Amino acid sequence: KDRDFCLVSETNLHINGHFIGKSKKQGLKRDFTWVQSIGVQFDSHKLYLGANKVAKWDDARDELSLLLDDQPIVLPPGRGVDWESASAPGLKISRLQDANSVTVEVAENFVITARVVPITAEESRIHKYEITEDDCFAHLELNFKFFALSPQVTGVLGQTYSAGFKSPVKVGVAMPIMGGEDKFAASDLFSADCKVARFAGRAIESVAGHNFPEVACGSGSAAGRGIVCRK
């Protein structure tokens, strides 16, 4: 918890995730963690998507924060509303619901669907998170779709698209862990300084004609296990 990790690193795309959570209980080997925000770098731009800290959750209140190059993005309320950037050509953000759910698209690069969700009292009871009334640990559930990746793409998630990737995760165990903290740790949300970073702010030679599968990342039934992604 309270650390940043590189999720995807390509020459013209770099995504870090910031994790929040609860300190591990006695007898456990991990913290309970969730992705609170992501920092997306493309071309010369920096895009922030994050869940606000919330005490008591209200579905009608928008708790998603968006910033482009450190400037707040103000989305008008209403499902289906679109916002397009004047300073970052090709960037479009659309509301999927009246609050807390958007798609972010950069043409020919990526589409990210982000939804802010809380840890509910029932989830806390079942998983013994001990969530208190001062913080419901609002966090992001994410879907990624990429259009321009090379065989050298890396990052916790990005490496799964690279040529010859073999997953180190033991399928079927109660707590599957990918590992690689030393390779993927970043100094902050917008630092492309993890050991395997490739970001250079320029276009790449992508795999022509390759259909990259969409990936869903979030807590779901495996809440608290860091980030769980499924293609």
pLDDT of residue 4: 96
pTM of the model: 0.87
Secondary structure (3-state) at 115: strand
The angle formed by the CA atoms of residues 19, 24 and 26, to the nearest 5 degrees, is 175
Q: Please tell me the chain's helix, strand, coil percentages from 3-state DSSP, rounded to the nearest 5.
A: 10, 35, 55
Give the tens place of pLDDT for each residue, 34-91: 999 999 999 999 999 999 999 999 999 999 999 999 999 999 889 999 999 999 999 9
Residue 216 pairs in a beta bridge with 143, 230
Structure tokens at 220: 């779901």
Q: How far apart are CA 178 and CA 125, in angstroms?
A: 27
Domains contained in the chain, number: 1
- Band the pLDDT of 226: cuts 50, 70, 90: low
Give the tens place of pLDDT for each residue, 137-161: 999 999 999 998 988 999 999 998 8
Give 179's Cβ-side CA count (13 Å radius).
4
Q: How far apart are CA 65 and CA 114, in angstroms?
A: 11
Burial 66-101 (b: 16+ CB within 10 A, else e): bebeeeebebeeeeeeebebeebeebebbbeeebbb
- Note the Cα 66 to chain centre separation in Å: 13
Domain containing 169 equals 3-230
DSSP conformation letters of 24-66: PPTT-SS-EEEEEEEEEEETTEEEEEEEPP-SS--TTS--EEE
Give the tens place of pLDDT for each residue, 93-120: 999 999 999 999 999 999 999 999 999 8
